[in-house]
Amino acid sequence: MSSVGEKRFGKLYKKRIWPSVCVLVFFAVACVATFAVFLYLFVMCIMGTKIVGHYEDAQQVSGILSALMDGGDTVEEAAAEMHDYILGDQDICVLDRDRKIVFLSGDSEPNFDIKLKFNVGRELTAVADSKNFLSANEGLRSIQAIPVREIMSRVLHPMEQGETRAQWMDAMVVRQDYWLKVPFGDNTYVLYVKCSLQAQRQDIVYVYLFGFGVMALLMIPVVLLFINTIRTALTQRKMSSLIYLDTVTGGRNWLYFQNYAHRILSRIRNNKKAFALVNLHLERYQNYRACYGVKAGDELLEAMSGFLSARVGKHESFARYEGADFGLLLRCEGENEQEYQENCRRRVRSLLAELTGLRPNQKIHFHAGIDLLPPYVDEEGKWYHRRQETDVEQIYTYANAARLESDGVEEQRITFFDHDMLGRQKWERWVEDNMERALQNGEFQVYLQPKYSPASGKLVGAEALVRWVSLSTGLITPSHFIPIFERTGFVTQLDDYMISRVAKLQAEWMIQGRKMIPISVNVSRAHFAQEGLAEHICELVDAYGPNHELIELEVTESAFFDDKEILVETVKQLKAYGFRVSMDDFGAGYSSLNSLKDIPLDVLKLDGEFFQGDEDGARRGEIVVREAIRLARDLDMCVVAEGIEKKEQVDFLARQGCDMIQGFYYARPMPVEDFEKKVEEDA
Ligand code: C2E
Ligand code: MG
Ligand code: MG
C-alpha cells in the first residue's frame, strides 16, 4: 500500500469510540449535577419561605418583649408574661446580657452546640433543638442525616378511612424543630423562638414532581447522546470489519495482518521472543481454478483460511496476501537460532502436510518461505527497545524471496531467508537493470579461448566466450549473468551480438590477411526454440561476409531434451548453410546417447567433468572418454575435450585420438588482441 493510503488507514484505525464515550460521561455527570443544584434550589425555596415566615413571627415576639421591658418589666417578667398570655404553647428562650438563660419554656431547649445559618435574603441564625432534631452531631449540614426512607414511607402512607384527599395532602410527613435567634433590647438580650419546620406531603410531592420534570428534561440530550455513541460504535465496528475483510476467504485481510503483526512485533515484551513470518504459497493455483472452476478455487482458499485460523494461536496472525499466497506470523519456541529454526520448520511442515489433506481427492501442494525474527536486541545489547522499525511488508517480501529461491523435488518445500539470498536477488536486479544499456555501450567483450590439436600441438580453433567489462563493477564472468539472461530471454540478444562480433572479426582477419581460425560461438537453448534461427544466424554472419565454415555453433547438451523436432530441423538447416554445429558440455549432467543418434552434429565437446574426481573416478572417466571418442569417430564427428588442465590428460587424449583440446593447460580465454598475438607466435 502507498504511504498515503497507509496513513489514511492508520487514521481510521486509530479513530476510537473513547472520545464519544468521554463526552457522554461528562454530559451525564453535568446533568446529574444540574439536577442536584435545581432540586436543592427548589427545596431551599420552599424551606426559605417557611423560615422567613417564622422569623417574622419571632421578630414580632421580640418587639412585644422590648415593649414590655420598656413598660418597666424585667426581662424575666416580660418573657414569662409573653409566654403565659401571648404565645400560648410556643416556646421561647431568653438570654441575658451575660448570655445566661433567664427564661426557658417547654420541655426541650436550644442546643447551642449546633449552630445553623440560613441565607434567605438576609442571614438568619438559629440553633438546633435538643430533642427534635435530625442529627444531634451533624444537623442539616449532612445530607445523610435526612431519614429519606422514613420520610418516603410516610409520604407513601395510604389514605386512612375517612381522610379526604386534601387532608391527606396536607398531612405532615417530616418535622424539624429549631430555635431562631432574634436579638432585642438594643442587642443586649437574645431571644430564641422555637420554630417547627414542617414538610407536608404535598411539599414532598412537589419536590418529586419538580425533580422528575428536571430529570426528564436533562435526560433527553443524554439519551440522544447515548444512542449516537452506540450508533457510532456500531458503525465503526462495521466499517472496520469491512475494511479488514478479505472478500475471498471471509477472514481478515492483509491490511489487518500488517497492522496486527506490527503491533505484536513492536510490543516491548515480545522483544524477548522469536517470530517467523511465513509466506505460504499454494502451487499451481491458477491451474486448479482452470480445472475445477473459479468457485472451487475460492472455496479452497476459504478452507485454507478456516484451517489456518484454527491453527494460529494467540499473539499470532495470518491473512491472505494475494492469489493463493498467505502470510503467517508465528511464534517460535527455542533457546537459540538453530532451535527456533528447527521448531519453526517442524511446525510449518506439519501445517503444510495438513493443508495438503484439505482436498483428499485432489493433488495440492504448498511451498513456504520463512524469515525468522530472532529475539530483538539493539546494537548495545538492550532488548527493551521496541522493534519499532518493523516493516511487516518488507519482512514478508523476504519470506517470499526465500520461497522463490527454493528448489528441489520435494513436494512441500520450506526455505529460510538469509541475507546471501538477498545479495543474489539484488545482483539479479542489478543485472536486469543494466544488461540492455551494457549491450548498447559495448560492455560485452569477446574473449577467445584457443583449441589445440594434441597431435600437432598447433592452435587450430577457438571458442568465443563473453566477458562483461562493466564500468562500475569491473570484469564479470558469464556464470554470474548468463543464467539470469537465460531466464529473462535476453541471452538471445547476447548470442546475436556475439555471433555478429565473431563474424566481424573473421571478416577483419580475412581482410588483414591473417591466418583464419575457426571460432565456435555458444548459442543458448532458448535460442534454439525459435523458428527460423538458421536464417537469422545466416543473416547476422552474412552482414560481414566471412566463410560460414569458419563459424561453429555450440549448443549445450541439455538443449537436446527440449523440442527435438525443431532442434533437428535447425541443426540440419545450419549445416545446409555451411555452419558447423557442436554439442557442448557432453557428459555434464544427464546425457542421452539418443541425441547423438537423432541429430547430425559435427563436433562433440566432452565436458571437463570426465577428468575430475578421485583416482577411481578419473580412471572410470577415462574409460567413458575413450568410448565416447570412439563413438564420435564412428558417427563422423570431431571430438573436442574441454576443461583440460593437466599434461597427463593431454597425453591420454592424444593417445585416444581426440581432435582438439581446449583448456587452461594450453591457454585461458583471452582478449582478441592477445589471441591474435598467440596465433602469430604459433605460426
Ligand atoms: P562453455 O561453453 O562450456 O565454455 C567453457 C567454459 O569452461 C568457459 O567458462 C571456460 O573459461 C571454461 N574453461 C575452459 N578451460 C578450462 C579449464 O581448463 N578449467 C576450468 N576450470 N575451466 C575451463 P566461462 O567463460 O566462464 O563460460 C561459462 C559458460 O558460460 C560457458 O560454458 C557457456 O555455457 C556460457 N557462455 C559463455 N559465453 C557465452 C555466450 O557468448 N553466449 C552464451 N549463450 N553462453 C555463453
Ligand atoms: Mg561452449
Ligand atoms: Mg562447455
Ligand 1 and 537: CB distance under 6 A:
no
478 touches ligand 1 (CB under 6 Å): yes
Length of the chain: 683
Q: What's the rounded Cα separation, in Å, for the pair 98 and 119?
A: 27
Neighbours of 224 (CB within 10 A): 11
Q: Highest mean pLDDT range out of 199-213, 219-233, 235-249, 445-459?
A: 445-459
Number of the ligand 1 atom closest to the C-alpha atom of 477: 26
Residue of 465, 582, 650 to mutate, ligand 1, most atoms within 8 A of C-beta: 465
- Residue 384 banded pLDDT, cuts 50, 70, 90: low
Task: Provide the H-helix boundaries in 249-336.
Answer: 254-265, 285-292, 294-311
Residues 193, 179 contacting (CB under 8 angstroms): yes
40 vs 625, more confident: 625
- Residue 240, pLDDT > 60, answer yes
Q: Whose CA is nearest to atom 27 of ligand 1?
A: 478
Q: How confident is the model at residue 143 (pLDDT cuts 50, 70, 90)?
A: very low
Residue 139 has pLDDT above 60, yes or no: no
pLDDT of residue 142: 44
Task: Tell me, using a 6 A CB cutoff, whether residue 26 lines ligand 1.
Answer: no
* Number of neighbours of residue 272 by Cβ within 10 angstroms: 11
> Whose CA is closest to 370, among 339, 336, 404?
404
Considering Cα of 472, then 475, then 478, then 480, what sign does the dihedral take?
A: negative
Q: How sure is the predictor about 323, in pLDDT bands with cuts at 50, 70 and 90?
A: very high
The CB of 664 under 6 Å from ligand 1? The reply is yes
CATH entry 3.40.50.920 includes domain 254-417:
no
- C-alpha 648 – ligand 1 centre gap (Å): 22
Partners of 127 in the β-ladder: 115, 179
Domain residue extents for the chain: 16-214, 254-417, 447-682
Pocket test for ligand 1, best of 451, 469, 482 (most atoms within 8 A of CB): 482
Q: Are 351 and 344 in contact (CB under 8 A)?
A: no
Q: What is the CA(585)–ligand 2 centre distance, in A? A: 7
Determine what percent of the chain falls in helix, strand and coil, rounding each to the nearest 5.
50, 20, 25
Verify whether ligand 1 is closer than 6 Å to residue 466 (CB atom): yes
Q: How far is ligand 3, taken at its centre, from the CA of residue 427, in Å?
A: 24
> Which residues have CB atoms below 5 A from the ion given as ligand 3?
584-585
According to CATH, the topology of domain 447-682 is: TIM Barrel (3.20.20)
Using CA atoms, how far apart are residues 134 and 677, in angstroms rounded to an integer?
Answer: 128
CA of 463 to the centre of ligand 3 (A): 9
Beta bridge partners of 470: 474
Ligand 1 atom nearest 523 alpha carbon: 44
Average pLDDT over residues 524-529: 80
pLDDT digits (tens, 9 = 90+) for 86-133: 777 788 999 988 888 988 888 888 988 888 888 877 888 888 888 766
- Confirm or reject: Cβ of 477 under 6 Å from ligand 1: yes
pLDDT tens column, 364-381? 989 999 999 988 876 676
Q: What is the pLDDT of residue 590?
A: 65
Task: Please tell me the residue having the least CA distance from ligand 1 atom 45.
Answer: 522
Of residues 541, 540, 539, 537, the one with CA closest to residue 528: 537
- Output the CA 523–ligand 2 centroid distance in Å: 8
pLDDT per residue over 189-205, tens digit each?
899 999 888 888 888 88
Alpha carbon of 423 to ligand 3 centroid (Å): 27
Q: Could you tell me the distance, in angstroms and rounded to a whole number, from the CA of residue 524 to the centre of ligand 2?
A: 10
Binned at pLDDT 50, 70 and 90, residue 592 comes out as low
Pocket of ligand 1, candidates 445, 522, 553, 609: which has the most ligand atoms within 8 Å of its Cβ, to mutate? Answer: 522
Atom of ligand 1 nearest to the CA of 495: 42
Positive or negative, the Cα torsion across 207, 209, 210, 212?
A: positive
**Measured distance CA(352)–CA(241) in Å, rounded:** 28
Tell which atom from ligand 1 comes closest to the C-alpha of 444: 41
DSSP letter for each residue of 62-113? HHHHHHHHHTT--HHHHHHHIIIIIITT--EEEE-TTS-EEEE-SS--EEEE
Q: How far is the CA of 221 from the centre of ligand 1 (A)?
A: 86
645 CB under 6 A from ligand 1?
yes
Q: What is the pLDDT of residues 409-424, one digit of tens each?
A: 667 789 999 888 888 8
pLDDT at 562: 65
Residue 527 banded pLDDT, cuts 50, 70, 90: confident
Q: Could you check whether 254-417 and 447-682 share the same CATH topology?
A: no
Among the bound ligands, the one closest to the CA of 669: 1
> What is the residue with the minimal CA distance to atom 25 of ligand 1?
465
